[in-house]
Amino acid sequence: MTHAIYPTLFSPMTIGLREARNRIAQAPMSVCYADENGIPTPAMAEHYGRRAKGGAGMVITENLAISVAGRQMPLQPMLKDDDSLDAFANVAGEIKRHGALAVAQIVHAGRYAGPWSEYEKARRLAPSPVPFELLPGKTVTPAEITEDEIEQALSDFANTARLAEKAGFDGVELHGAQGFLVSSFFSPVMNRRKDGWGGSFENRTRFALEAVRRIRADVGRDFIVGIQLMSDELRPGGWSLDEATSLIPRLEEAGIDFAVPVVSTFETLKTPENAGLFARPTFQHEEVRAIRRFATVPIFTNGGIRDPRVAEDILARGDADGVALARPLFSDPDWPEKVREGRVCELRFCDCTEATCLRTQLTGSRCESWPKAAAEAGYFGYQA
């Protein structure tokens, strides 16, 4: 039945060959509830299941590392072999049990890979050895990724997608933003290669397209393949919105079923011009609108969407096909159900000034807005 106040938000949507019950997705948020070996704990399954129980149509997990070389944080989940399959099946099962599509975000952290505690020792892979400030006052120079390592990373992406399918996920989202490996190839600033992986637009986008093709070839046709796509690097001489709009039809040809455009990298977020970006309402929506004009697959808008009326307006105008909410669903997993039931005044808002979720990431994220018992337990999911 059509919803009286939010008819678009609560209409079903087709993603690839599957259907989501509404147009609200949990956007990926690294909560790091895995163990030291990257194996999901029961808390991780409960955490994601709880987001599905709260009514999201699609739950995209945090970024799962595809390999040790591509892992960023000490408790980040990692899906690289059969050893962790049962634990990941538990995560996918909890999401699907509550009626949402389960999608695993997959990443090679590239230049941002860990371990940060030994920041000068790690071999971080990037298209070119361009130095950058990893942590305040700590500059590192990533290693230039070799042809063999490129081949390894591409086959690891396909392997992780296959494992995700085997674990029962409905799909994967390739992490192609924020400066991680895939998006570092896009950027003329981070990628200064003179071989077939750098230089022209075709060469800089080759890694992403090849990753999508390899994943698509190795999974079933009904398995969803999405991408989080860097829409603009927000840096002079960097990857531009024009390039992102040119890439989207090629990604579709390669086999993607949806995209979530996202601006900036960890480095460009720190520049004075971009300070406070994450706090602004709908802060990357103009880029989404631009990209959607060139897309035929569903495009999700993300970033600074809190108010369900804003979400409905965006979708009703046809600016995007779905909304992906990260912090709002972290602070209140029941956001979709409360909105659907007209209980907007009961929403637990995401409004802390110093983001506790980011600050606590290395040990398992917590939210400032959770009820005390949930914050003490370390996750919201254990509550009914």
CB 79 within 8 A of CB 63: no
CB 380 within 8 A of CB 367: yes
**Binding partner of 331, given ligand SF4, ligand FMN, none, CB within 5-8 angstroms per partner class:** ligand SF4
367 scored as a contact of ligand SF4 (CB under 6 A): yes
CB of 358 to ligand SF4, least distance (A): 7
What character string, x for contact with ligand SF4 (CB under 6 A) and - otherwise, covers 292-331? -----------------------------------x--xx
Q: Which member of 16, 28, 179, 381 binds ligand FMN (CB under 6 A)?
A: 28
| DSSP symbols for 267-289 | TGGGSGGGTTGGGSTTTTHHHHH
CB 57 within 8 A of CB 13: yes
Closer CB to ligand FMN, residue 198 or residue 334?
334
Please name the amino acid found at residue 131: P
CB of 371 to ligand SF4, least distance (A): 12
In angstroms, the CA 242 to CA 20 distance is 30
CB of 374 to ligand SF4, least distance (A): 11
Question: How many Cα neighbours within 13 Å face the side chain of 350?
Answer: 26
Q: Where are the alpha helices (DSSP H) in 54-180?
A: 85-97, 147-166
* Cα–Cα–Cα angle for 256, 257, 262, rounded to 5 degrees: 75
228 scored as a contact of ligand FMN (CB under 6 A): yes
Span from 136-144, 155-163, 308-316, 322-330 in contact with ligand FMN (CB under 6 A): 322-330
Closer CB to ligand FMN, residue 238 or residue 304?
304
Q: Which residues contact 193 (CB under 8 A, 6 or more apart)?
A: 127, 128, 144, 199, 203
Strand partners, 38: none
72 scored as a contact of ligand SF4 (CB under 6 A): no
62 scored as a contact of ligand FMN (CB under 6 A): yes
Closer CB to ligand SF4, residue 76 or residue 369?
369
248 scored as a contact of ligand FMN (CB under 6 A): no
